[in-house]
Amino acid sequence: MYAKFHSIGAYVPSKVLSNADLEKMVDTSDEWILKRTGISERRIAKDGENTSDMATKASKLAIERAGLDISEIDLVVCATVTPDYFNMPATACIISDKLGIKNVQAFDISSACSGFVYALSIAKAFVESGMKKHVLIIGAEKFSSIVDYTDRTTCILFGDGAGAAVISATQNKEEAFIDVHASADGSYSDFLMTPAPGTVNPVSQKVVDEGLNFVQMKGNETFKLAVKTLTKDVKDILAVNKISSDDIPHFIPHQANYRIIKAVGDSLKMKEEQVVVTVGKYGNTSAASIPMAINDIWESGRLKKGELMLLDTFGGGLTWASALLPFAGESK
Ligand code: ACO
Of 142, 173, 204, which residue is a domain's last? 173
Residues ≥6 apart with Cβ < 8 Å to 29: 19, 23
What pLDDT shows up at residue 169? 98
126 and 270 part of one domain: no
pLDDT for 94 equals 98
Residue 6: active-site member:
no
How far is Cα 216 from Cα 239, in angstroms, rounded to an integer? 35
pTM of the model: 0.96
| 91, 109: one domain | yes
* Residue 28 belongs to some domain of the structure: yes
Partner residues linked to 8 by β-bridges: 165
**Termini Cα distance of the chain:** 27
**256 Cβ inside 6 Å of ligand 1:** yes
Amino acid 109 reads: I
Atom of ligand 1 nearest to the CA of 316: 50
Q: Is residue 274 part of a domain?
A: yes
Indicate if ligand 1 lies below 6 Å from the C-beta of 235.
no
Number of domains in the chain: 2
Which residues are CB-neighbours of 128 under 8 A, at least 6 positions away? 1, 2, 3
- Residue 78 falls in the annotated catalytic set: no
Q: Residues 142, 233: one domain?
A: no
Query: Are residues 168 and 5 in contact, defined by beta-carbon separation less than 8 angstroms?
Result: no
Last residue of a domain, one of 173, 203, 222: 173
Domain contains 332: no
pLDDT of residue 90: 98
Annotated catalytic residue: which of 19, 50, 213, 284? 284
270: which DSSP letter?
Answer: -
Domain enclosing residue 285, as ranges = 179-326
Residue 61 inside a domain? The answer is yes
Is residue 80 domain-shared with residue 147, that is, in the same domain?
A: yes
Same domain, 213 and 157: no
Q: How far apart are CA 218 and CA 60, in angstroms?
A: 36
Same domain, 37 and 70: yes
Per-residue pLDDT, 120: 98
Question: For the packed helices 51-65 and 91-99, what is the interaxial angle rounded to 10 degrees?
Answer: 50
The answer to whether position 23 is within a domain reads: yes
Verify that 151 and 202 share a domain, yes or no: no
- Ligand 1 pocket check for 19: Cβ under 6 Å: no
Q: Are residues 134 and 235 in the same domain?
A: no
Query: pLDDT by residue for the chain (332 residues), tens digit each?
Result: 999 999 999 999 999 999 999 999 999 999 999 999 999 999 999 999 999 999 999 999 999 999 999 999 999 999 999 999 999 999 999 999 999 999 999 999 999 999 999 999 999 999 999 999 999 999 999 999 999 999 999 999 999 999 999 999 999 999 999 999 999 999 999 999 999 999 999 999 999 999 999 999 999 999 999 999 999 999 999 999 999 999 999 999 999 999 999 999 999 999 999 999 999 999 999 999 999 999 999 999 999 999 999 999 999 999 999 999 999 999 99
The answer to whether residue 313 sits within a structural domain is yes
Task: Assess if residue 238 is contained within a domain.
Answer: yes
Q: How many residues does the chain have?
A: 332
Regarding whether 195 and 70 lie in a shared domain, the answer is no
CB atoms within 10 A of CB 290: 32
Residues 311 and 234 in one domain: yes
**Residue located nearest, by CA, to atom 29 of ligand 1:** 36
Cα dihedral sign, 278-320-62-244: positive
- Using CA atoms, how far apart are residues 162 and 159, in angstroms rounded to an integer? 10
pLDDT score, position 62: 98
State yes or no: cis peptide before 89, omega within 30 of 0. Answer: yes
103: left (phi over 0), alpha (psi -120 to 50) or beta: left
Here the CATH number for the domain that contains residue 23 is 3.40.47.10
Classify residue 126: in a domain, yes or no. Answer: yes
Q: What is the pLDDT of residue 31?
A: 98
Give the residue, out of 153, 217, 224, 261, with the most ligand 1 atoms within 8 A of its beta carbon, to mutate for a pocket test.
153
Cα→Cα distances 84→124, 178, 208, Å: 26, 33, 19
On whether both 138 and 72 belong to a single domain, the answer is yes
Residues 41 and 168 grouped into a single domain: yes
Domain edge (last residue) among 144, 173, 202: 173
Pinpoint the alpha helices (H) of the chain. 19-23, 30-37, 51-65, 91-99, 115-128, 152-155, 205-210, 219-240, 258-267, 279-282, 289-299
Residue in 53, 67, 138 with CA at minimum distance from that of residue 98: 53
